[in-house]
Amino acid sequence: MWKKVWNYDKIAYGGDYNPEQWPEETWEEDMRLLKLAHINTLTLNVFSWAALQPSEDEYCFDKLDKIMELAKKHGMKVCLATSTGAHPAWMAKKYPEVLRTGINGIKRKFGARHNSCPNSSVYRKFSVRLAEKLAERYKDYDNMIAWHISNEYGGECYCENCEKAFQIWLKEKYQTLDALNHAWNTSFWGHTFYDWEEIVLPDLRSEHMSEEETTAQSISIDYRRFNSESIMDCFRLEYEAVKKYTPNIPVTTNLMGAYKPLDYHKWAKYMDFVSWDNYPSNEDSISKTALNHDLMRGVGRGKPFVLMEQTPSQQNWQAFNALKRPGVMRLWSYQAVAHGSDAVLFFQMKRSIGSCEKYHGAVIAHAGHEHTRVFREVTELGAELEQLGEEILGSTGIAETAIIFDWENWWAIEYSAGPSVNLKYHDEVLKYYTALHSQNIPVDIVSEEDDLSQYKLVIAPILYMTKPGVDGRIREFVKAGGSFVTTYFSGYVEEHDLVITGGYPGKLRDILGIWVEESDALPEHKKNGFIYEGQEYSAELLCDIMHLEGAEVLAEYKEDFYQGTPVITCNSLEKGKAYYVGTRSDEDFYNKFIENICKEQQIKPAAKVPKGIEAVKRVREKEQYLFFLNHNEESEEITLSEAAIDLLTQKEYQKEETLVLPAKGVSILKSQR
């Protein structure tokens, strides 16, 4: 069960505020405006390192003291950042080792942000020192509800420091060069290493042809593991530093959803709660955002999660920075809350006047007053959230279905040379997630390492890398009565990206009751097809050609030299079933296929609603909160299956009564469990 994320009895509402970019005379007016909009929480000090530490031995907290006092005076809660997302210019000049080197081998100069080498001992020393000083200084500041370490950690570094650290990391991992040479299959192309110091980072000067193309998958995957851990270590060091002084204040760093370079399953273990920044474009599907929310909730494995940033209106960094249409900011905010967030936070409170984010959406526009559409919408939502009080805080979603989403598997699939450049892990996961989401089936996102026994259905789209133990957990899960679904290009390699010989899908073969002999990659314009329950669906991207080893056939290919051979199969294993989908198909197929399995397993949706309405449930011991989110352009009618009260309108409904939900409208129905 989740617990409340922090010591606050309201939904936190607010976000990044950078008064240090403005003259002090403007601050009181900002406060007037923000309070008018029912803002109650400010994320402060995100990018102030250069101001806080003007030189190596000099620290200056005067301005931050004033800002902290300002927030307190106006009753704002504070999420305090450590400012280590961008190092000061003097540091880069004096200690060039803090600068990153890109995959192209070019050492960066001072500039931009998130530009520090994670293995630089100078960066680590100064960032930890700053975090510690902040914690020491503000430990008794009772308005602080959370720590926000750095900002959107990410990227990679290929500098010489990192290379040395990589060699040490490898030594620890493999112990002997024999073990490393074996794991990396270095006899291929004469790569055998005789000394740890011969090992270089896999960049554009060594193994890589481009960022995504490598000649040595095992090395590049290990580098990704190493890089994710190196950056995570920077987070952990700051975490420890602030915890020394404020053991009871929860610590987070803002993640970025399905962000490929960092293995968030590992990161979240060291976070008190997960927080993330949600920046969909208007073209993104609702289910893509929902997947991100569930992923962020999932990596936390029961820890609370929070929406740390979203824009009130538009971004600045997309090609076309469309405005959120009226009502959409509210709708998407509730989508985050429905999926478990106990906060609605924005980037940013006030538009800056210079540099690249001056046209990024903000609560306070350049006009500087409250008479804007965005301000009005923010204010209305603020009033609503305030009125909700602590009602839904700490309640949780419950799912009978899980999708395995695993970063190392993601890296391995997309580094693979062949079978198709269009093989994209996240796309495939999204297809299955969308089938569940469009039927309002709650989903947990889990890793390959997680226990599966609590679920009725587990889907592992492209389970290419089968890490130790995962086949065992799946086998037990199926035997005990679970339904398991996996796809083409699964079971090929172990954790070092070495092929599991003897026939695909490797260790999953007995579970699925098939042997995949070949896999045909179709070019973009080419499709095959199959008939499933009397309906024709497409077969695209990859077509596995397989033999049955106990499984039964659910569909066969329509064309080509493998016409009439199995494409969809089902294997019964003791009490459960394991399904194999040997190709990529279309939305209609996924919907039908998933619907059938859910029916058989008696997996129920959160509610029965018209298409385009998202229904999500959060529960507590005795109460449940059913969110209806109308993503359609028209109003919709929903027949309620039980009596409930709408927390947003206070309207009471009887069982079987019809609720009318306007376009982009939201209802939160409270009822007893």
| Residue numbers at the binding site for ligand GLA (CB under 6 A) | 151-152, 254, 277, 279, 309, 315, 347, 357, 360
Pairing verdict, β 12-16 and 341-347: parallel
**Cβ atoms within 10 Å, residue 270:** 14
Is the CB of residue 360 less than 8 Å from the CB of residue 302?
Answer: no
Applying CB under 5 A, the site for Zn ion has a residue count of 6
Does the footprint of Zn ion cover residue 157 (CB under 5 A)?
yes
Find the shortest distance in angstroms from Cβ 68 to ligand GLA.
20
What residue is closest to ligand GLA based on CB?
277
Task: Tally Cβ neighbours within 10 Å of residue 650.
Answer: 8
407 binds, among ligand GLA, Zn ion, none (CB under 5 to 8 A by kind): none
Q: Which of 156, 207, 238, 309 is catalytic?
A: 309
Name the residue nearer to ligand GLA (CB basis): 151 or 630. Answer: 151
Cβ neighbour number for residue 37 with a 10 Å cutoff: 25
At its nearest, how many Å lie between ligand GLA and the CB of residue 311? 6
Residue 411 and residue 20 in contact, taking contact as beta carbons nearer than 8 Å = no
Integer Cα distance of 450 and 469 in angstroms: 10
**161 to 180: interface string for Zn ion, x by CB under 5 A:** xx------------------
**CB contact set of 321 (below 8 Å; sequence gap of 6+):** 314, 315, 359
**Residue 390 appears among annotated catalytic residues:** no
Residue 448 known to be catalytic: no
Minimum distance from residue 119 beta carbon to ligand GLA (Å): 23
> CA 284, CA 80: separation in Å to the nearest integer?
31
Residue type, 464: Y
Distances, alpha carbon 456 to alpha carbons 377, 441, 482, 600, in Å: 41, 12, 5, 10
Convert 187-221 into a string of H (helix), E (strand) and C (coil). Answer: CHHHCCCCCHHHCCCCCCCCCEEECCEECCHHHHH
Of the residues 97, 132, 152, 614, only one is catalytic, namely: 152
Q: Which stretch binds Zn ion (CB under 5 A): 146-154, 155-163, 373-381, 423-431?
A: 155-163
CB-wise, 152 or 448, nearer to ligand GLA? 152
Candidates 159, 286, 290, 573; binder of Zn ion (CB under 5 A) is 159
Which letter does DSSP use for residue 107 in this model?
B
Residue 117 contact partner, candidates ligand GLA, Zn ion, none, CB within 5 to 8 A by sort of partner: Zn ion
Query: Which one, 280 or 340, has the nearer CB to ligand GLA?
Result: 280
Residue 360's binding partner among ligand GLA, Zn ion, none (Cβ under 5 to 8 angstroms by kind) is: ligand GLA
Is residue 92 a contact point for Zn ion (CB under 5 A)?
no
CA distance 176 to 182: 10
Beta-sheet pairing, 583-584 with 535-548: antiparallel
162 binds, among ligand GLA, Zn ion, none (CB under 5 to 8 A by kind): Zn ion
CA 429/CA 374 separation, integer angstroms? 34
Which residue, 117 or 511, is less far from Zn ion as judged by CB?
A: 117
Backbone angles phi, psi at 47, to 5 degrees: -130, 60
- Which residues, 6 or more positions from 251, have their beta carbon under 8 angstroms from its beta carbon? 146, 147, 149, 239, 242, 243, 271, 272
**Could you tell which of Zn ion, ligand GLA, none binds residue 157, using a CB distance below 5 to 8 A set by kind?**
Zn ion
Binders in 110-139 for Zn ion, by CB under 5 A = 117, 119
Least distance (Å) between residue 119 CB and Zn ion:
5
Cβ 110 to Zn ion shortest distance, Å = 15
Minimum distance of Zn ion from residue 126's CB (angstroms): 15
Q: Which does 152 bind (CB under 5 to 8 A by kind): Zn ion, ligand GLA, none?
A: ligand GLA
Backbone angles phi, psi at 34, to 5 degrees: -65, -40
Nearest distance, CB of residue 52 and Zn ion, angstroms: 24
Distance CA(158)–CA(153), nearest Å, equals: 16
Report the alpha-carbon distance of residue 306 to residue 575 in Å, rounded: 39
Among ligand GLA, Zn ion, none, what binds residue 544 when CB lies within 5 to 8 Å by partner kind?
Answer: none
Six-digit token string for 454: 């609590």
**Binding flag, residue 149, Zn ion (CB under 5 A):** no
Binding partner at 151 among Zn ion, ligand GLA, none, C-beta below 5 to 8 Å by kind: ligand GLA
**Alpha carbons 506 and 189: distance in angstroms, whole number:** 25
By C-alpha distance, which of 255, 18, 273 is closest to 151? Answer: 255
Q: Which of 663, 502, 513 lies closest to 576 in space, CA to CA?
A: 513
Stretch of 158-166, 455-463, 568-576, 655-663 lying at the interface with Zn ion (CB under 5 A):
158-166
Out of ligand GLA, Zn ion, none, which partner does residue 603 contact, by CB within 5 to 8 A per kind? none
Residue 522: CB atoms within 10 A of its CB come to 19
Q: How far is the CB of 360 from ligand GLA (least distance, A)?
A: 5
Sites of contact with Zn ion (CB under 5 A): 117, 119, 157, 159, 161-162
Give catalytic residues, as residue numbers.
Answer: 152, 309
